[in-house]
A and B are shown apart, each in its own frame.
Chain A
Amino acid sequence: MTSDELYQRDREWHPPAFTPDYKTSVTRSPRLAMLSLQASESELTGPTFGQCDIDPIDSDLINNYAKTGDPIGERIIVHGRVLDENAQPVPNTLVEIWQANAGGRYRHKMDTYLAAIDPNFGGCGRTLTDENGYYAFRTVKPGAYPWRNWVNNWRPAHIHISVFGTAFAQRLITQMYFEGDPLIAKCPIVNTIPDSRAIDQLVAALDLNATVPFDSIAYKFDIILRGHRSTFFENRPEGN
């Protein structure tokens, strides 16, 4: 079993652990070097999910928690593909999202922001990519919200995204931002990422082709997971 290994994670592309302008990271960042391992089955296998695990309505945040009507807010479609670094689609993988409502308020017992809870909006969704790695959610555009990092910070509108891939070492959580939002450049969490190209990759593009006329505007967001190495020549077998 030598063909499953992954390209190494580019730690200069990801944010470092210690990013003092994002204050919570100061005490939650490991300071010692990580131990680099040759991956084994423990890292190269991972959980799989099927249609029986989820319900089709789970990907429609406009309907999946509606009680008395539609949620308030700008109706949007977020769609794209999950690919690996070799540009190969990642089919049948679980994509989960969560977000604030149109006013910037989360449905969470720890969120106390004064913006109103929307009785018809839960704020989470999930889906499996299809055989081409394609996924789509329908939701409302989340609002910006304040947080106390410096005295007066505002998060740009964003959707949190969790993706699996096929190996536990591909596991990824990130955040998707919206093209044209002036708060992106001012956000200490966005700016934990050192390379501006990596930030650009987190900004979903307005996609008029995918809008539903007189219904929903659309944003396109592709998600890239670590790629598998191909083995052209077998390693020398060890131990024999």
Chain B
Amino acid sequence: MAQPLNYLKETASQTAGPYVHIGLAPGDAGFNIYANELGRDIIGPNAKGTRIKVTGTVRDGTGAPVKDVLIEVWQANAAGIYPGKGDVEDGFRGWGRVISDFETGEFTFETIKPGAVKNQNNQIMAPHLNLWLVARGINVGLNTRMYFGDEAMANAADPVLNLIEQTQRRDTLIARAGRTNYHFDICLQGDEETVFFDV
């Protein structure tokens, strides 16, 4: 026997369940309790950069929309700075919560397009939003990224996208670009399964 290491174990995850909105977005569950509901505004009033709107649907393995998903967004500002890592605009939180429509499953949120950020090896990562998905039936929250379809050059050089061996699967992380709107569907399972990350 060797000495015990005495590390603690991370608390195991459990599904957020169908009523995640009560805890994290009670207004959407159908009642008002908090004066200040968190995650409603990703960027605040002073954010510089291009304002964008993102829409999409999360689909299950049968192609059906997931109507009870909650997505958290975490992003840098337009200069590529994460809050806590340097000065960002007053009120810029970089974090938000989005839920899908209970009837249609479509989600929508507004933010600004983030700037590029360097990874630990000083390589430039293309602009991206970090997403974390929870819902009934998802046992451990799923991490993924949304890249921008109008950043073809930056995406081609992105060190994370380039890790994806099946090159056609890289497209699962790239939102279709309109003028200021982006469309990003997430597939939990199936032929178009989105690339999820173990980070």
Contact with B along A1-16 (1 / 0, CB 8 A): 1100101111101111
> Would you call A168 and B74 a contact (CB within 8 A)?
yes
Per-residue CB contact flags for chain A residues 92-114 toward chain B (1 = under 8 Å, else 0) read 00101110000000111111000
Answer whether residue A53 sits at the interface, using C-beta atoms and an 8 A cutoff: yes
Nearest CB of A to B110, in Å? 17
Given contacts A27-B189, A43-B130, contact A87 B8 (CB under 8 A): yes
Bound-state Cα–Cα, A197 to B137, Å? 22
Contact status A36-B139, CB under 8 Å = no
CA distance A14 to B29 in the complex (A): 28
CB distance from B60 to the nearest CB of A (A): 4
The count of chain A contact residues (Cβ–Cβ below 8 Å) is 90
**Chain A residues within an 8 Å CB radius of B64:** 27
Contacting pair A172 B8 (CB below 8 A): no
* Bound complex: CA A160 to CA B85 (Å): 31
B198 contacts which chain A residues (CB < 8 A)?
A: 8-9, 11, 34-37
- Verify if A215 is at the interface (C-beta below 8 Å from B): no
Instruction: Check A106–B19 contact: CB distance below 8 A.
Output: yes
Bitwise interface map of B from 162 to 182 toward A, beta carbon under 8 Å scored 1, else 0: 011000000000000000000
The answer for the CA separation of A42 and B9 in the assembled complex, in Å, is 24
Residues of A contacting B74 in the complex (Cβ-Cβ under 8 angstroms)? 42, 45-47, 168
Q: Which residues in chain B, 120-138, are within 8 Å of chain A measured between CB atoms?
A: 120-122, 125, 128, 130, 132, 134-138
A212 contacts B by Cβ under 8 Å: no
Residue contact B24 to A96, C-beta cutoff 8 Å: yes
Residues of chain A lying within 8 A (CB to CB) of residue B199: 36-37, 39, 43, 169
Q: Are B60 and A27 in contact (CB under 8 A)?
A: yes
A85–B8 touching, CB < 8 Å: yes
Within 8 A of B (CB), among A19-58: 19, 22, 24-32, 34-43, 45-49, 53-55, 58
- Which chain A residues lie closer than 8 Å to B35 at the CB level? 55
Query: Are B22 and A45 touching (Cβ within 8 A)?
Result: no
CB < 8 Å: which of A55, A96, A192 contacts B139?
A: A192
Q: Mark B1-18, 1 if CB is under 8 A from A, else 0.
A: 000001111111111111
Tell me if A24 and B19 are in contact (CB < 8 A).
no
Expressed in whole angstroms, the minimum distance between the Cβ of A103 and any Cβ of chain B is 15
Is B45 an interface residue when CB atoms closer than 8 A count as contact?
no
Q: Is the CB of B141 within 8 A of A54?
A: no
Q: Is the CB of B139 within 8 A of A25?
A: yes
From B10, B16, B117, contact of A40 by CB (8 A): B117
Q: How far is the CA of A193 from the CA of B14 in the complex (A)?
A: 8
Q: Hey, what's the 0/1 contact readout for A196-240 against B, CB within 8 Å counting as 1?
A: 011101100000000000000000000111110000000000110
**Residues A35 and B197 in contact, CB atoms below 8 Å apart:** yes
Q: How far is the CA of A84 from the CA of B31 in the complex (A)?
A: 34
CA–CA, A131 to B130, complex, Å?
28
CA gap between A24 and B143 in the complex, in Å: 19
- Beta-carbon nearest neighbor of B166 in chain A: A32
Tell me whether A15 and B17 are in contact (CB under 8 A). no
Q: Are A84 and B8 in contact (CB under 8 A)?
A: yes
When the two chains form the complex, which single residue of A8, A31, A55, A58 contacts B189, counting CB atoms closer than 8 Å? A31
Any A CB within 8 A of the CB of B79: no
- A175 within 8 Å of B (CB atoms): yes
B22 near A123: Cβ-Cβ < 8 Å: yes
Find out whether the CB atom of B125 lies under 8 angstroms from the CB atom of A40.
yes
Q: Residue B107 at the A interface, CB < 8 A?
A: no
Query: A189: which B residues are within 8 A, CB to CB?
Result: 14-15
Contact assessment for A98 and B22 in the assembled complex, using a CB-CB cutoff below 8 Å: yes
Is A160 in contact with B23, judged by CB distance below 8 angstroms? Answer: yes
Complex contacts, B66 vs chain A, CB 8 Å: 28
Whether the pair A32, B193 counts as a contact (CB closer than 8 A) is yes
Of the candidates B13, B38, B128, B189, the one whose C-beta lies within 8 Å of that of A42 is: B128
Chain A to chain B contacts (Cβ below 8 Å), 8 pairs: A10-B9, A14-B13, A42-B117, A168-B74, A171-B72, A173-B20, A192-B15, A239-B121
